Structure 1
Amino acid sequence: MRSTPLPSRHWDGSLFHVRRRRSLRLSSDSASRLLRCGQGDRCRDCGNRIEWYHSTNERPVRLHPHELPAEKVPPSCHWHVSSGVAHPAGDGSGWCRLPHAMVCPARDTNPAAPELTGLRRALAVNTRRLIDSGAFVPPPALPDTKASASTTCRPARPVVQLLYLRYLANHPVDEIQCVAQTRRRHRCTSPLLTHDTRAGVWTLLPSTTSHGQLPLPGEFMAVYSLTGLSYAEQLRWRAQRCPEHAAIPTAADVALAEWEPFDPLLHHEHIRTRLPTLARRRAPAGYGSKAPRADRAPHRGS
């Protein structure tokens, strides 16, 4: 039995043109591989798959890659994607998207809804499988704040100022990784800050908002300033490329730049009020006491 073929002409005798369906493809000479609405990635804390979207306020959002029944997700956590933009609300359907932070097994907080506990447990099992197979290496545990306060002061998410704007980085300054693609089609492992490039300067600046408001009263924050570098060097940092790939403009990107516009009202927990140092000097023995030191000569009048 044969299906009836489509007519080749209309009723008036004109040719019947059928448009061929074409899938969205990327040109081989394109300088970017990110021409899609959802950029797939893996969580740097648990290794599970996530999808990056830009929200309505132009901030990147990490969403769970699969849709979930809306009835199993709290209404305050409903997200939906429309035209490649993530919106923090439901679209009226029976399905919704969920922020990955709600079910990330690397976080200590448990999901608010008991229905999400099973999903979080499944992601934890997958994380263990990735670790056992060597496909994922968890980040080192942060040292105790009280124990390390006297020896180190290194912001995990520093505030960087470049091109007269402030951004919140996802990694320490010396661990910000290049997003360019190598010849083996992997992400470049080189950092942005190398021994051949000029480094920025840590400085204390007033905590100002991104909307032109007045600075917070009595609030100063540590900022890694790159305004002293050249314009081309600041563009390299903004594009998040190492010096080698910055000289190759045709190199593709395999990840989104991890800069997040800084807002002191939203990112108040990342504000540091003192400059980071590699090691803080301890007070010498007898410092601050009025008793004379043994190695010091006595006063002439004594």
Structure 2
Amino acid sequence: MAQECRIPHTVLCPARTPTCQTSPYLEAIRRQLAVRTRRLNDTGALTPGPPTASGQSDDPDTHDGPARPVVQLLLCRYLAEHAVEHLRCVAQTRHRHRCPHPIRALTGPAGTWRLLPTGPRRGQLALPDVLMAIYDLGHLPYRGQLRWRAQRCPQHDAAPGAADLALAEWQPFDPLLHAAHIRTRLPHPEARRPGSR
């Protein structure tokens, strides 16, 4: 009968601090596992763990995507002020309040989460070749992309005479200034909306 060696998960897991003294051999294994885990995270092959007991994920981002996503529309990239599902219409209602509707339509085509290179802007120093999660709206018709850029819900887009009560909450994305908002993996696959690609 062959001998078995069982090593507790906490000793090898690169995300945890070992509770006991480890040998150089175990430290080398921990480093290899950390590199492998990072590669799987970066390619989107490994999804984050389930929500904790408090109901919140360890990831500060939402299930649909980052708390402040990078959105690509009209051949430009913008940093959104809120998660995609929380971007509200800026138009004024008949009661002189801001429209409560989201700009993401519940039916019809939606954006596509993609891993795309950060790419330098004109006049910037070259950045390391990093893939980042982008909510791509480039496949929408031109009119649909204009609606997103104006930050209007489908109802107010159909009524162009409605005044805006707030400014659109887009910032031109700069990979150097907004490096803290770059996400290198796609959102949870199970959380993507039906109808999104």
Structure 2-normalised TM-score?
0.63
User: Equivalent residues in 2 for 1:1-302 (5 A)?
Assistant: 143=56, 145=58, 152=63, 154-211=65-122, 213=124, 216-279=127-190
The 3 A distance-change label for structure 1 pair 152 and 215 is: farther
Residue 167 of structure 1: SS of its match in structure 2?
Answer: strand
Q: Aligned Cα RMSD in Å?
A: 2.6
Deviations 1:258-280 (A, max 9, x none): 00000010000000001111549
CA distance in 1 between counterparts of 2:126 and 2:111 reads 23
**Contact preservation (8 Å) 2:133, 2:186:** yes
Quote the sequence identity (%).
58
Deviations 1:64-121 (A, max 9, x none): xxxxxxxxxxxxxxxxxxxxxxxxxxxxxxxxxxxxxxxxxxxxxxxxxxxxxxxxxx
**Contact preservation (8 Å) 2:64, 2:84:** no
The 3 A distance-change label for structure 1 pair 254 and 198 is: same
**CA shift for structure 1 position 184:** 0.2
**Contact preservation (8 Å) 2:119, 2:129:** no
Residue 145 of structure 1: SS of its match in structure 2?
Answer: coil
CA distance in 2 between counterparts of 1:218 and 1:211 reads 16
**CA shift for structure 1 position 152:** 4.5
> Which residue of structure 2 aligns with residue 47 of structure 1?
none
In structure 2, the gaps of 5 or more residues are 1-54, 192-197
- Give the letter aligned to residue 175 of structure 2: P
Deviations 1:197-242 (A, max 9, x none): 3101010111123325475223110000000000000000000000
Larger gyration radius, structure 1 or structure 2: 1
**CA shift for structure 1 position 196:** 2.1
Q: Identify the structure with the greater helix proportion.
A: 2
CA distance in 2 between counterparts of 1:152 and 1:249 reads 33
- Give the letter aligned to residue 145 of structure 1: D
Provide the aligned length of Structure 1 versus Structure 2.
Answer: 138
CA distance in 2 between counterparts of 1:166 and 1:267 reads 12
**Contact preservation (8 Å) 1:208, 1:214:** no
The 3 A distance-change label for structure 1 pair 248 and 209 is: same
The 3 A distance-change label for structure 1 pair 247 and 266 is: same
> Which residue of structure 2 aligns with residue 3 of structure 1?
none
CA distance in 2 between counterparts of 1:152 and 1:235 reads 26
The 3 A distance-change label for structure 1 pair 218 and 202 is: same
Which one has more relative contact order, counting CA pairs under 8 Å at least 6 apart? 2
* Deviant stretches of 4+, over 3 Å: 212-215
Structure 1-normalised TM-score?
0.42
Residue 101 of structure 2: SS of its match in structure 1?
Answer: coil
**Contact preservation (8 Å) 1:207, 1:215:** no
